[in-house]
Each structure stands twice: as structure tokens, then as C-alpha cells.
Amino acid sequence: MAARLDFLKINPGPRGWFEGRRVLVIGLGKSGAAAAALLARLGARVSVTENRPPAAVRFGRRFLPAGVACETGGHELLEEAWDLIVPSPGVPSALWASRARRGTPVWGELELGYRVLRSAGRWPARVAAVTGTNGKTTTTALLGAMAKADGLPTVMAGNIGTPLCAVADRLSADSVLILEVSSYQLETTAAFRPLVGVVLNVTPDHLGRHGTMARYAQAKFRLFQSQGPGDAAVLNAKDPVCRRWARGVPGQVAWFGNRRPGVRWDGRGLVSTLPGGGGRWSAPALLAGRHNLENAAAAVAAARRLGFSPGAIARALKDFPGVEHRLEMVREWRGVRWVNDSKATNVDATLVALRAFAGNLRVILGGRDKGAPYAPLRREIRRKAREVMLIGEAAEKIARDLAGTVPLVRCGTLERAVRRAASTAWPGDVLLLSPACASFDQFKDFEHRGRRFKELVRALR
């Protein structure tokens, strides 16, 4: 399983390796601030470079310890000599790849946290890392709920909202660590090794960053590059990319879907055929949609490999309520259901959302384009939707790809789209925010977009 960024692989270094080292952190979001703070505690001489203006990073600067230099508005510090460079996940590889090839170690925040914890003897024995184009957050949260239902000391971190470096002080070898990891985070890993790695699916996304589907898949499957024969890879039996890449996985493969050994839905429940981890469980009580059966099957497969009890798994499946911004019911108003699916930042995620409803949809689409066509939505839009309201930078591209399906209304902003829906929707309709786009043209992130949508809907009188 050849890795495109093999030049990142260097020895992890002794426990005191960071003392006095010159380290540059690129980016001052959550990951950058957490990495800088951890490095400073380890005695490194830390500097942060951020190309956004000072006002845009005021919040992140509050978390930097005294003595950490912070450059904003450019990346001049990149030209200096550094013992280590730590790029934030959103930083394009063009900024650091050439330095890595010249011998400067480059670790992302995920890799940094892993190396620090491992060298200190505090990397947990039970770690699961979940990735995939869609379903990561739901599956990660459900797996975390299973661990907690078993009474285990559980920490959830990564792309789910809390950087690994920010929870390093809470972890020990006895903890259970559940991580959501993205392709951006995996791109800068080398030694990172979870006991259980999960790939839910690989469909077109982030092509502006990775360039091709092959490179995007390659980034996802870096999750398994340091695993050994005793580790486990939980893979989607229906996903052609997972089936193709499974041949290069060094650990034991557990499938979810119609392959063995693994976990599948047989029409009556979730059935496990894993060696030493068999059993049957009811479907998630509070999660709707076929896609959530697959997420649950993946979580069960990972939970059994981590040694969680069958009873704890059953309790979590019964009580788990879902995650914010993913097919989240906001309210019913004048007979119209308003659903927040802001986490649908790509076409495949929106397709899943459309399939979860019987019809009578009024859909809000748009935001910042991520390079994939919107034509795959045509069939479900024609079958399920009354109209589509377009917002953001991608509105015209979406209008071209969906022309001739249903009425397409250019609203421009989320506020205008909600106002239009409030005045035109009929009792029995479903107003679905499922943008199929990134949020960065008008919002800080998809959470910001989802929270604003909920504010607007709850303000309706």
C-alpha cells in the first residue's frame, strides 16, 4: 500500500526530544492552538504562522501560552530553519511538502499527539479511529456511547471537535480513545497506529485538495499504514474503494455489509459473524435511514473488536439520539418539518439525506463548491422535491446541473431561503437544509451554518 508522502516517516524520538527544539505550527485554528500549547508544555521553542489577519485569529491567540511567537497576515516564518513543522489540517501541502523533502520533519496535530502519548507510555491500548466521506461523526459518537455504556473511561477527540493534543492530559494506557479522523489529518501521519481503523465509504469529496479520487483514497487508507497483524480494519463491503484497498491492509479485516467475517443487517437486526464476537442486536432506535444501519453495523464491528460487552452495545443502540447538524429535527411549524443537515458538505451526503424522506421536500442547496458534479442529485430531486432554493457561491453550477428537474429559486443567502420557505411551504412539507457544499463562503464552518439555520427557524412566528 504505497504512501504518497513516505518522506514524512522518521523515528518518533525519545521522550525529551522536544526540549529546546524550534517548532513551527502553521495555522491557528483549534488544531494549531492545541498543538502549540502542548509543544510549549514540552519545552519546545514554538512559533505560529497564520496568513489570516490578527482580528480573525483573536480567539485562537487566547489559548497560546506566554512565549509563543505568533505571526499573522503571511507565512514569512516558513523560510527559517525548523526542527519540526506542524501544519493544521486545512493547510495545503504546497506550504510544507518541499521542506519535508529537504529533511524537516512534518507531523500533523494527530501525529504529534500520537507520538507524544506513545513516548510517554500513555497511548491507550484500546483506540479506534473512524474515517470516511460520510457518517464519520455519527459512527464515532455511537462508538463512544457504546464505550461509555460499558462503564469504560472514554475520550472522544479528533475531527469530532476536540483535537487530540487538547486531551493528552486526560489519557492513560487504561483509557478508551475514539477518534474521528479526516483525510486532511491522515495526510500528515506516518507512525499513527490505532488498534481499530474504520473506513465507512470513499466517494468524491475534497478533490480541490487531493486532486484525484486515487489520491483522496490514498489519504484515507493511510489510516492502516502502521498497523500490524493484531490490529483490525473495519471496511464497507459495498464500497468498491474499500474492497480494492482491503488487499493492502496489514491487519485483520472485519466487514460491515454482506461479507464475512463482519456485521450485517438481515432485515430483523444487526448480526455479527466476527470470530469471538458474534451476536445479534436491534436496529438503532432513534436513528432513521438505511445509511444509519450501515453506520451502526460499522460501530458494532469496531466495538466487538475493542472488547465492549454485548449488553453495552445494545443499550447504546437503544438510547443514542444522533448528532447535531445531521438530519436534526429543529421544529415543526405550521405543519412543516424543518430539518438541519448542515453537515452534508458533499453531494453524496445530500443524496443520503434525500433518500431518508418519502417526498414533499423543499431543499436548500449551496455554499462553496468542492469540485464534484451535482448531477447525481437529479433523480432524487425530481422524485422527492417540490423546489430547490439555492444559496452561496455554487448556486449557478448547481442550477446548471439540476436544470429541468424542479423549480430552482436563487435566494443567495440562508436568511432569504428560510423566509421564502416560511411563506411558500405547505402543511406536510419538509424543509431540508442539506447544502452539498462547504460553508466557508458565508460561514465559519458547517456548525456555524447549522446554528444560524436553527436560529432562523426557531424565530419563526
For domain 328-458, the CATH superfamily is Mur ligase, C-terminal domain (3.90.190.20)
> Which member of 206, 291, 325, 454 is catalytic?
206
Distance separating alpha carbons of residues 4 and 404, to the nearest angstrom: 42
Q: So what CATH class is 112-319?
A: alpha beta
Task: Give the model confidence (pLDDT) of 195-241 as tens digits.
Answer: 999 999 998 777 677 778 899 999 999 999 999 999 999 999 999 99
> Which member of 30, 148, 159, 291 is catalytic?
159
Is 14 a residue whose pLDDT tops 70? Answer: no
Confidence of residue 2 (pLDDT cuts 50, 70, 90): very low
Is 3 a residue whose pLDDT tops 60? Answer: no
Task: Give the model confidence (pLDDT) of 61-82 as tens digits.
Answer: 888 888 898 988 888 898 899 9
Distance separating alpha carbons of residues 392 and 365, to the nearest angstrom: 9
Per-residue cell: 354: 434525500
In CATH, which of 3.40.50.300, 3.90.1180.10, 1.10.10.10, 3.40.50.720 is domain 20-106?
3.40.50.720
* Mean local confidence (pLDDT), 406-427: 97
Q: What is the pTM of this model?
A: 0.81
pLDDT of residue 207: 65
> Taking the domains of the chain in order of start, what are their residue ranges?
20-106, 112-319, 328-458
SS3 430: strand
Is 8 a residue whose pLDDT tops 70? Answer: no
Reply yes or no on whether 159 is catalytic: yes
> Which member of 30, 134, 136, 343 is catalytic?
136
Sheet-wide strand order for 408-412: 328-333, 336-340, 430-433, 361-366, 385-391, 408-412
Is 12 a residue whose pLDDT tops 70? Answer: no
Reply yes or no on whether 136 is catalytic: yes
pLDDT of residue 142: 97
Reply yes or no on whether 236 is catalytic: no
